[in-house]
Structure 1
């Protein structure tokens, strides 16, 4: 996804939240914020992705604040809540009648897990709403390449699976288990 008109404001808002979490010292907070503004500004162009700019922002704040993980506490809570919800997620998948449907449901669970985000303006993921999230993704996945992914996975000897959000790995584990059951 290339950068869109609204992306810089979201990146900057996240920089504000992250700099607040990175330090209790107001001077370090301000320096982290200003350094991240500069880093975002110097690296923004029409072809850059928001993820790339987000990585630059995060690295800048971590370096300036000397805090390697400003969202450490949120990640711990997210992991705990995701683990608590694993039985619900597994039950959802077990209701599928075919291996193909189980794979699809495992992919949908993994997609929902990717919604575990912190510091995004006007966005809050409520773990208690997991069934609603699953239902929404199931109804409107947007671009749906799950069957194509399944065909490719069935042909694969090995698969490298990358994760990026705390909490999501608990749900990704379910998808990895499905991939293993397919022989990948």
Structure 2
């Protein structure tokens, strides 16, 4: 998905937020903002928003030496998500569901609300509301039946993770997949609140399925920048389960893979590209 005009003011907002999160020093904040806005002014309209945002985050890391400005927030949301998922397990939501697979998909999508890059103010109640709403709203797109059919006929499945905290909700869906066929993928290094191997070990997902990182630290999955090991694994998989907006933005042009996108459509540009409304719960195999 190419960058749209709608993305530009969002990226400018992110430039300020990145600076404020990376350092308390005014001089460093101003330098990060200046370099980020310069990168934004030189953008290629054939690029994706995550490619532009990656450059801005690199400026922050170079200026401050702070490798992971969002580390504390990620742990906070891992903890919040754990508390909510423990309630779901203790109350046996899935065991009592008419269609447990459908509920597992909805819970995975609900967790996608945990996204710092879109400017949402989140707390425990906002995440819990996303979870509760996911059980009663209509999903936009192909639906859980189509995904389940694709899973049953696939030989190798890649599950592209999105954010810390959110991955706790992914566990519900992973438990309904053929685990021996699944490889779960996170980022190769920190960026915003995207999940890394540290979050995988916190969540225990490494005890469920094979895990790996993609060798890169941009949001989404920029194939040209990912490691050879990841690309080899990606090539072998005949089904991709893609979580979150950034993965959609960086993979939606691919037509030779069966990819199901699971996300909350949190911005107008992504919603318009998919054909849904902003904040819809999306589960769709999108072909352009």
| TM-score, length-scaled by structure 1 | 0.83
Higher helix share: 1
Stretches of 4+ moved more than 6 A in 1?
Answer: none
Higher strand share: 2
Q: Which runs of 5+ in 1 are unaligned?
A: none
Determine if contact 2:19/2:60 at 8 Å carries over to the other structure. Answer: yes
How much does 1:74 deviate? Answer: 0.7
How much does 1:19 deviate? Answer: 0.7
How much does 1:77 deviate? Answer: 0.2
CA RMSD of the aligned region, Å?
2.3
1:157 correspondence with 2:158: no
**Alpha-carbon separation, structure 2, partners of 1:106 and 1:134:** 11
Determine if contact 1:19/1:30 at 8 Å carries over to the other structure. Answer: yes
Q: How do 1:33-112 residues align onto structure 2 when only pairs under 5 Å count?
A: 33-45=33-45, 47-90=46-89, 91-97=92-98, 101-112=99-110
Aligned position for 1:167? 165
**Alpha-carbon separation, structure 2, partners of 1:20 and 1:170:** 27
How much does 1:76 deviate? Answer: 0.8
Aligned position for 2:32? 32
**Alpha-carbon separation, structure 1, partners of 2:49 and 2:17:** 17
How much does 1:84 deviate? Answer: 0.8
Q: Which runs of 5+ in 2 are unaligned?
A: 183-288
Aligned position for 1:125? 122
Aligned position for 1:141? 139
Matched residues, number: 179
How much does 1:62 deviate? Answer: 2.0
Aligned position for 2:191? none
How much does 1:135 deviate? Answer: 4.1
**Alpha-carbon separation, structure 1, partners of 2:59 and 2:148:** 38
**Worse-matched range after superposition: 73-82 or 172-181:** 172-181
Structure 1 residues 31 and 50, CA, compared in 2 at 3 Å: closer, same or farther?
same
